[in-house]
Structure 1
Amino acid sequence: MEQNPAAPQDIFAALRTEVLACLRRILPELPEEALARVAVEPPRDAAHGDMSTNAAMVVAKAAKLPPPKIAAPLAQALAELPMVAEAAPAGPGFVNLRLAEPFLLGQVPVVLRAGEDYGTSPAGQGLRVDVEYVSANPTGPMHVGHCRGAVVGDALANLLAKAGYDVTKEYYVNDAGAQVQALAYAAYWRYLQALGTPLSEEEYAAATPNGLQYRGEYLIPVGEALKARHGEALAPGARPADPSLWLDTVRDFAVARMMDEIREDLAALGVRHDVFISEAALVKAGVADQAIAGLAAKGLVYEGVLEPPKGKLPDDWEPRPQTLFASTRFGDDVDRPLRKSDGSNTYFANDIGNHADKIARGFDDLVQVWGADHGGYVPRMKAAVAALSGEKRVGFEVVLTQIVKVMKGGEPVRMSKRAGTYVTLRDLIDEVGRDAVRFTMLTRKSDAQMDFDLDKVVEQSRDNPVFYVQYAHARCRSVLRQAGDPAMVELAQAPLEALRDPSELALIRRMAAWPRTVEAAAAAREPHRIAFYLQDLAADFHILWNRGRDDATLRFIRAEEPESTRARLALVAATAIVIRSGLQVMGVAPVEEMR
């Protein structure tokens, strides 16, 4: 049995190319646009084969033939291909395929030669994508809600890069507006404490326009640093001074310190952004005003009065003229205000400036990760991007992340004393480690609520996906070390005829699905699919491992059979490579051995 030396990396894409070629021969009059929705995918039931195509059904209308009349000759044509062992029409017009074993075995050397680059796809065609994620207000430490968005966004950016996109990882710093001013007042109170002010917290809170919204202990070092830098200059005699004398200084200092801490927390999570964009800097540069002027020139900004919000009674509503963006012309349900009653920009207006800046930087697609509580904000932002981009038609997508509840011993974890009201990201990392945090955050779809069970995450059992996948890689590495860590180039030349057991072939089929998994997950913007795939791959490997314990002929290393040993070492090495390739996307380091 001879493997195909020119085996493709993505066997699903290769079979789709063959399906299209067969269709063109069978139906030469078929218009090319009719082929766009032809897909080759794994069948829902593995008993039906390795692959299935919907080709006959999606071209039937254009061909003016019933799908079964197309499926039969298509199956016959595909069965003649050397890579196909069997092709049969099924159901309303599907064609199910079984791959020839030599073609399937040929995927092992493909993986070995590609290394961790296996699965890298040209699908993105180098399109420039801006992935904005985290973007937490710089008003306190990162918490577990930020953590999920950070992991999902970072893994999604890695996934898009793997799929052939030119990706920029961006953090939008919300350093303008009322919350940052509230931070300044809270930092100033900690500064007064450092000076020894006689005012109680309650007295100070009552005397400030923002009260004391941020009371966590994390601002104590900020107050002490302000004292070290300014002495009593911002509050002579340890008394509150006129805010006009200190507000800007304290706000800028506190934001800078909070951003330093946020960067440190993100680095501990393995997250590093390429770009940090300041909302305050964009406002100061007039980017939002310029963008709004551009929209006005297109006739999309007007003075008007909005209807009362849903659920408001007439006597609760005070209609007033406002500067509005005509977002309903782009699918939104109501036009949106751009100016507050004092004439300053609304948050939405500043966000228009943020997106105008991204478009000006030449991105083809904008992908953003938001908390699920911002879901209602999506239509207006999508409308704004459509209006701003005009004929260029810049893409805009939002991935929503639901809340995370941290559990231990079956009970919710108590709040962090340092943060004051929530469990911090650093608390989580210190408890279970960076890799466990990252992997676990991707074990559910981002818009599903999650219980992060601290006990389960460190449990050494197959019920813990972090352990299960890492254990598979550690077992692979143990086998290869025992064999003296053979070179990949040598294993890539190993004859593979010995790999005939159903569990071995199942493992190869799973590995061969990795390139398609990357493309599909990237297209759907769903990095959790990578975690699911790795769990399935690990399960296939553990099954083979356990079979070798029961059946000596399936053991990876058999001194009396050097050829079958080389074949199985090649399979083990390829499995480890694909696991590492998947973990790279997730931002998780593979382990060499379990302790």
Structure 2
Amino acid sequence: MTLYTRYTRLIDAALDDLILAGTLPAGLDRRNVTVEPPRDVSHGDLSTNAAMVLAKPAGTNPRALADGLAARLRTIEGVADVAVAGPGFINLRLTDDTWRDEIAAIGAAGDDYGRSTIGDGISVNIEYVSANPTGPMHMGHCRGAVVGDALASLLEFAGHRVIREYYVNDAGGQVDTLARSVHLRYREALGEDVGTVPEGLYPGEYLIAVAQQLAGELGGKFSGAPEAEWLPLFRSRAVAAMLVMIRADLALLGIHHDLFSSEAELQAAGKPAAAEAELRSRDLVYDGVLEAPKGETPDDWEPVELPLFRSTRFGDDQDRPIRKSNGQWTYFGADLAYHYQKAQSADQLIDIWGADHAGTVKRIVAAVAALTDGKTRFDVKLVQMVRLLRDGEPVKMSKRSGNFVTLADVVNEVGKDVVRFTMLTRRSDAQMDFDFAKVVEASKDNPVFYVQYAHARIKSLHRRAAEAGIAPGNHDLSLLETDELALVKLAAQFPRTVETAALAREPHRIAFYLYDLAAAFHAQWNVGNERPDRRFLVVENPDATRARLALAAAIGQIIQNGLAIMGVVAVSEMT
């Protein structure tokens, strides 16, 4: 149980006492009652809006209710002071011993400090990356990959059972283009002069190895054969080779999916047709004609009857076709079936999409609501592109890839941890610049360095203390002064941060929190520059040193736990 949970329950018990005393009526809805840190730390350690929320439905004055509740809260063990502010907010100040006990709690929990049970019994399917299988991963995929993977780890830390899924778009025209591109390179591998790669095909050099392997296996069997004879084979072999490449690229970031689902297999299994039948049985799919395009109508446009999903019932601006006039499934029709499949094995669904897909969010959310009768929570997190810079100048494209900067090149240059942390330093829907020079800069302005440095500094402190003959343990935490305990107050917010980040589906909150915690630790460390007696390591005062070692270890443990959620290693020394 976290400190915030504990005091939430104590405040809840105090409200129960008021009901027994007849001050409050029974049956009040307390879901909007919060216990959180006050915005201004000078107001105290905890703040609750209980009186503000409950006064109106209870038919009483908020200030009067706050005064009555405050009187009971003053009797709670660990509470040093209670004050009523404004129209009825209640601020609590906890005793220093309460915060000293939290240091011990952090040490006892270790790697599990901050874990939550809010997700117990809930399964969540997170689909992320899902790049077309037409080449190596590039930096356009990187941010969504990191956000999705960190979110998966965050939800697991909060108690959920998580399924990490990659949807392989192997049924569209892009994989036919891939097959044709490989076939061109195949002919080249057989000695044919194919000239410049034609417009519309993939020019990347990464296809050469795939083509050479096919040439070695097949010889010239398909060099002059009609496309219909070789396209299916080249398509399946090319996609398989690309997925091997994609898995290897993702592994460089420490990303491994539990499940790779094929769009082609989904269609072959008749899943879109099954989804259509289900929706027709509920009168959610009907045969109708789309409105003419807005503006000037194209000369070749003509009204065609198509199966339409009633997405307007769920907030969309128009109903959407699930099949084309030639009978093929629209992308939406196939996507609808895919989400229906996912919803049958998970309680909640999350998709991580590029911001360029924003226009399709409303319709797929509508489809999932329809297919699951609104019982499945479904979130779509949009991720903005990343602009690559080097000392402020745009980065040139990779020759090997053909037209983009590969993820592998970036990871190999700056490292997995730098890439992962940097991708989480802003909200996923906000624009981001990734400057190769700045992300490895050793400065306070670089969050990656600043947080890692705090952990490395703590590890170095313990090594130097050991060299001085001062071992951790047998510490007297009463030697820690009140301003030193301010660090613990911030540290104790970690479990609450985990829960709020998980509920909001926002892993970047962990990165923000860690930066604040690291900044507070560095500030406390710097106190020793002016006052040598307040340094973390004072050889002449081993008792104070042991207490501060325990404090530093607690901060280091939380930094390590937070970085683990982000998929970043907490280093012991800076190189």
Partner residue in 1 for 2:476: 495
Q: Deviations over 1:479-499 (max 9, x none)?
A: 11223399xx973x6320011
Partner residue in 1 for 2:433: 451
Partner residue in 2 for 1:208: none
Q: Which consecutive residues of structure 1, in runs of 5 or more, have no partner in the other structure? A: 1-8, 206-210
Corresponding residue to 2:363 among 364, 377, 380: 380
- The one-letter code matched in structure 1 to 2:259 is V
SS in 1 for 2:286: strand
Higher mean C-alpha displacement, 190-199 vs 364-373: 190-199
For 2:194 and 2:460, the matched residues in 1 are separated by: 64
Corresponding residue to 2:329 among 345, 348, 353: 345
Q: Is the 8 A contact 2:100 2:477 kept in 1?
A: yes
SS in 1 for 2:81: strand
Would the alpha carbon gap of residues 308 and 41 (structure 1) be closer, same or farther in structure 2, given more than 3 Å must change?
farther
Partner residue in 2 for 1:169: 164
Say if 2:125 is the partner of 1:142.
no
For 1:559 and 1:529, the matched residues in 2 are separated by: 38
Q: Deviations over 1:531-582 (max 9, x none)?
A: 1111011111111111123212212233433322221111111111101000
Higher mean C-alpha displacement, 428-437 vs 558-567: 558-567
Partner residue in 2 for 1:267: 251
| 1:255-404 equivalences in 2 (<5 Å) | 255-311=239-295, 313=297, 317-361=301-345, 363-390=346-373, 393-404=375-386
SS in 1 for 2:152: helix
Q: Is the 8 A contact 1:185 1:212 kept in 2?
A: no
Would the alpha carbon gap of residues 282 and 82 (structure 1) be closer, same or farther in structure 2, given more than 3 Å must change?
same
SS in 2 for 1:497: helix
Q: Is the 8 A contact 2:28 2:58 kept in 1?
A: no
Corresponding residue to 1:222 among 196, 210, 218: 210
- The one-letter code matched in structure 1 to 2:2 is D
Partner residue in 1 for 2:113: 118
Q: Is the 8 A contact 2:184 2:194 kept in 1?
A: no
| 1:558-573 equivalences in 2 (<5 Å) | 558-573=538-553
SS in 2 for 1:131: strand
Cα displacement (A) at 1:199? 4.2
Cα displacement (A) at 1:33? 4.9
Q: Deviations over 1:91-123 (max 9, x none)?
A: 232111211111111100101011111000011
Partner residue in 1 for 2:25: 30
Would the alpha carbon gap of residues 573 and 485 (structure 1) be closer, same or farther in structure 2, given more than 3 Å must change?
farther
SS in 2 for 1:89: strand
Say if 2:471 is the partner of 1:483.
no
For 2:277 and 2:363, the matched residues in 1 are separated by: 18
TM-score by length of 1: 0.93
For 2:396 and 2:456, the matched residues in 1 are separated by: 35
For 1:312 and 1:428, the matched residues in 2 are separated by: 46
For 1:231 and 1:64, the matched residues in 2 are separated by: 87
Cα displacement (A) at 1:27? 3.6
Indicate the percent of aligned positions where both proteins have the same amino acid: 53
For 2:143 and 2:539, the matched residues in 1 are separated by: 48
Cα displacement (A) at 1:340? 0.9
Q: Is the 8 A contact 1:324 1:337 kept in 2?
A: yes
RMSD: 1.8
- The one-letter code matched in structure 1 to 2:378 is F
For 1:149 and 1:262, the matched residues in 2 are separated by: 14
SS in 1 for 2:133: coil
Q: Is the 8 A contact 2:497 2:509 kept in 1?
A: yes
SS in 1 for 2:136: coil
For 2:159 and 2:108, the matched residues in 1 are separated by: 19
Q: Is the 8 A contact 2:391 2:438 kept in 1?
A: no
Q: Is the 8 A contact 2:130 2:167 kept in 1?
A: yes
For 1:21 and 1:584, the matched residues in 2 are separated by: 35
| 1:519-558 equivalences in 2 (<5 Å) | 519-558=499-538
- The one-letter code matched in structure 2 to 1:20 is D
Say if 2:405 is the partner of 1:423.
yes
SS in 2 for 1:170: strand
SS in 2 for 1:106: helix
Q: Which consecutive residues of structure 2, in runs of 5 or more, have no partner in the other structure? A: none
For 2:540 and 2:42, the matched residues in 1 are separated by: 35
Cα displacement (A) at 1:132? 0.7
| 1:204-219 equivalences in 2 (<5 Å) | 205=198, 212-219=200-207
Cα displacement (A) at 1:311? 4.3
Corresponding residue to 1:252 among 223, 226, 236: 236
Q: Deviations over 1:385-432 (max 9, x none)?
A: 1111126x1110011100100111211101111112111111111221
Q: Deviations over 1:15-48 (max 9, x none)?
A: 1111211122224443445111101111122222
Aligned residues: 570
Partner residue in 2 for 1:6: none
Would the alpha carbon gap of residues 313 and 69 (structure 1) be closer, same or farther in structure 2, given more than 3 Å must change?
farther
TM-score by length of 2: 0.96
Partner residue in 1 for 2:446: 464
Q: Is the 8 A contact 1:34 1:58 kept in 2?
A: no
Partner residue in 1 for 2:489: 509
For 1:545 and 1:213, the matched residues in 2 are separated by: 58
For 1:350 and 1:516, the matched residues in 2 are separated by: 39
For 1:30 and 1:228, the matched residues in 2 are separated by: 82
Would the alpha carbon gap of residues 316 and 63 (structure 1) be closer, same or farther in structure 2, given more than 3 Å must change?
farther
For 1:316 and 1:593, the matched residues in 2 are separated by: 67
SS in 2 for 1:593: coil
SS in 1 for 2:39: coil
Q: Is the 8 A contact 1:24 1:30 kept in 2?
A: no
Q: Deviations over 1:230-272 (max 9, x none)?
A: 111111xxx3x21111000000011001100000000001111
Q: Is the 8 A contact 1:31 1:62 kept in 2?
A: no
Would the alpha carbon gap of residues 30 and 164 (structure 1) be closer, same or farther in structure 2, given more than 3 Å must change?
farther
For 1:58 and 1:258, the matched residues in 2 are separated by: 56
SS in 1 for 2:477: coil
| 1:48-197 equivalences in 2 (<5 Å) | 48-197=43-192
Q: Is the 8 A contact 1:409 1:455 kept in 2?
A: yes
SS in 2 for 1:451: strand
- The one-letter code matched in structure 1 to 2:282 is K
Would the alpha carbon gap of residues 579 and 312 (structure 1) be closer, same or farther in structure 2, given more than 3 Å must change?
farther
Partner residue in 1 for 2:561: 581
Cα displacement (A) at 1:52? 1.2
Cα displacement (A) at 1:315? 5.9
Q: Deviations over 1:168-189 (max 9, x none)?
A: 1111111111111111111111
Q: Is the 8 A contact 2:472 2:549 kept in 1?
A: no
For 2:507 and 2:486, the matched residues in 1 are separated by: 24
